Structure 1
Amino acid sequence: MKRNPSLLSPRGLRRACAWLCASVALAAIAVSAQARGIAELHSDYPVALSVQIDPADISDDDLREIKASGFEFVRFGARPPLKSVNPASIDYANLIRRVKNARLEAIVTLFGGREIWGQQPADLGGGQREKLFADFARRFMETHAAEVAVWELWNEPDHKTFLNPALFPAFETATAEFCRSIAQLKTPPKIVMGFGFAKLPFNAGQVPAPLESAFVSAAKSDCLTDISIHPYRAVPETAIADYAKLRAQLDQRQLNRVGIVASEWGYASYLPVRDRNTQASLIFREYLTNVAAGIKLLNLYAWKDRGTSVVAREDNFGLKSKSGEKKEAFASLTEFLRIVRTARKVSFESSAGVNRLVLSRGSTLLHVVWTQGAGHDVVVPAEKGRKCTRVEFFPQVRHGSCGAPVEGGFAAEATAYPVLLSIAE
Structure 2
Amino acid sequence: MMKSSFVASALQRLPGLFRLLCASAAIAAVSCAAQARGIADLGTDYPTALSVQIDPADISDADLNEIRAAGFELVRFGVRPPIKSVNPAQIDYSKLIRRVRNARLEAIVTLFGGREIWGHEPSDPGGGQREKLFANFAAEFMNAHAADVAVWELWNEPDHKTFLNPALFSNFETATAEFCSSIAQLKSPPKIVMGFGFAKLPFNAGQVPPQLENAFVSGAKANCLTDISIHPYRSVPETAVGDYARLRARLDEMQLGKVGIVASEWGYASYLPVRDRNMQASLILREYLTNVAAGIKLLNLYAWKDRGTSTVSREDNFGLKSKGGEKKEAFSSLTEFLKIARTSKKVSYDSNGSLNKLVLSRGTTLLHVVWTQNAEQNVLIPAARGKKCTRVDFFPQVHHGSCGSPVEGGVAAKASSYPVLFSIAD
Q: CA deviation at 1:33?
A: 2.5
Query: Structure 2: 5+ residue runs without aligned partners?
Result: 1-29
Q: Residues 199, 124 of structure 1: CA spacing in aligned structure 2 closer, same or farther, 3 A cutoff?
A: farther
**C-alpha distance in 1 between matches for 2:224 and 2:330:** 36
**C-alpha distance in 1 between matches for 2:296 and 2:375:** 27
Residues 288-322 of structure 1: per-residue CA shift (max 9 Å, x gap): 00000000000000000000000000000000000
Partner of 2:119: 118
Q: CA deviation at 1:123?
A: 5.0
Contact kept, 8 Å, 2:110 with 2:156, in 1: the verdict is yes
Name the SS for the 1:302 alignment partner. Answer: coil
Query: Structure 1: 5+ residue runs without aligned partners?
Result: 1-28
Partner of 1:73: 74
**C-alpha distance in 1 between matches for 2:311 and 2:209:** 35
Deviates more, 1:298-307 or 1:34-43: 34-43
**C-alpha distance in 2 between matches for 1:89 and 1:167:** 26
Where do residues 367-406 of structure 1 align in structure 2 (5 Å cutoff)? Answer: 367-406=368-407
Q: State whether structure 2 residue 239 is matched by structure 1 residue 238.
A: yes
Partner of 1:39: 40
Deviates more, 1:30-39 or 1:158-167: 30-39
TM-score (norm 1): 0.92
Where do residues 303-382 of structure 1 align in structure 2 (5 Å cutoff)? Answer: 303-351=304-352, 353-382=354-383
**C-alpha distance in 1 between matches for 2:108 and 2:164:** 21
The alignment's C-alpha RMSD in Å is 1.4
**C-alpha distance in 1 between matches for 2:194 and 2:217:** 12
**C-alpha distance in 1 between matches for 2:127 and 2:62:** 42
Paired residue total: 397
Name the SS for the 1:45 alignment partner. Answer: coil
**C-alpha distance in 2 between matches for 1:133 and 1:392:** 49
Q: State whether structure 2 residue 183 is matched by structure 1 residue 198.
A: no
Contact kept, 8 Å, 2:270 with 2:277, in 1: the verdict is yes
Q: State whether structure 2 residue 263 is matched by structure 1 residue 257.
A: no
**C-alpha distance in 2 between matches for 1:277 and 1:122:** 50
Partner of 1:105: 106
Partner of 2:413: 412
**C-alpha distance in 1 between matches for 2:335 and 2:362:** 17
Q: Residues 77, 31 of structure 1: CA spacing in aligned structure 2 closer, same or farther, 3 A cutoff?
A: closer
Q: CA deviation at 1:34?
A: 2.8
Partner of 1:214: 215
**C-alpha distance in 2 between matches for 1:39 and 1:396:** 35
TM-score (norm 2): 0.91
Residue type at the aligned position of 2:37: R
Structure 1 runs of 4+ off > 3 angstroms? Answer: 29-32, 119-127
Residue type at the aligned position of 1:367: H
**C-alpha distance in 2 between matches for 1:352 and 1:226:** 29
**C-alpha distance in 2 between matches for 1:87 and 1:52:** 20
Residue type at the aligned position of 2:80: R
Q: Residues 404, 335 of structure 1: CA spacing in aligned structure 2 closer, same or farther, 3 A cutoff?
A: same
Residues 100-145 of structure 1: per-residue CA shift (max 9 Å, x gap): 0000000000000011111664455897210000000011001101
Residue type at the aligned position of 1:328: E
Residues 162-193 of structure 1: per-residue CA shift (max 9 Å, x gap): 00000000000000000001100000000000
Residue type at the aligned position of 1:283: I
Q: Residues 258, 352 of structure 1: CA spacing in aligned structure 2 closer, same or farther, 3 A cutoff?
A: closer
**C-alpha distance in 1 between matches for 2:304 and 2:358:** 26
Contact kept, 8 Å, 2:31 with 2:189, in 1: the verdict is no
Partner of 1:88: 89
**Percent identity of paired positions between Structure 1 and Structure 2:** 79
Residues 319-360 of structure 1: per-residue CA shift (max 9 Å, x gap): 000000000000000000000000000000002621000000
Name the SS for the 1:313 alignment partner. Answer: coil
Partner of 1:155: 156
**C-alpha distance in 1 between matches for 2:263 and 2:31:** 30
Contact kept, 8 Å, 1:46 with 1:345, in 2: the verdict is yes
Name the SS for the 2:318 alignment partner. Answer: coil
Name the SS for the 1:315 alignment partner. Answer: coil
Q: CA deviation at 1:412?
A: 1.1
Partner of 2:268: 267
**C-alpha distance in 2 between matches for 1:403 and 1:97:** 49
**C-alpha distance in 1 between matches for 2:176 and 2:170:** 10
Residue type at the aligned position of 2:290: T
**C-alpha distance in 2 between matches for 1:394 and 1:239:** 23
**C-alpha distance in 1 between matches for 2:354 and 2:40:** 31
Contact kept, 8 Å, 1:118 with 1:124, in 2: the verdict is no
Contact kept, 8 Å, 2:360 with 2:366, in 1: the verdict is yes
Residues 235-276 of structure 1: per-residue CA shift (max 9 Å, x gap): 000000000000000000000000000000000000011000
Contact kept, 8 Å, 1:82 with 1:123, in 2: the verdict is no
Q: CA deviation at 1:226?
A: 0.1
**C-alpha distance in 1 between matches for 2:221 and 2:243:** 22
Deviates more, 1:270-279 or 1:119-128: 119-128
Name the SS for the 2:143 alignment partner. Answer: helix
Larger Cα Rg: Structure 1 or Structure 2?
Answer: 1
**C-alpha distance in 1 between matches for 2:379 and 2:125:** 61
**C-alpha distance in 2 between matches for 1:30 and 1:85:** 34
**C-alpha distance in 1 between matches for 2:298 and 2:265:** 10
**C-alpha distance in 2 between matches for 1:222 and 1:145:** 17
Contact kept, 8 Å, 1:51 with 1:75, in 2: the verdict is yes
Residue type at the aligned position of 1:87: P
Residue type at the aligned position of 2:382: P
Where do residues 106-185 of structure 1 align in structure 2 (5 Å cutoff)? Answer: 106-118=107-119, 121-122=122-123, 124=125, 128-185=129-186
Residues 35-73 of structure 1: per-residue CA shift (max 9 Å, x gap): 100011111001000000000010000000000000000
Contact kept, 8 Å, 2:389 with 2:423, in 1: the verdict is yes
Name the SS for the 1:210 alignment partner. Answer: helix
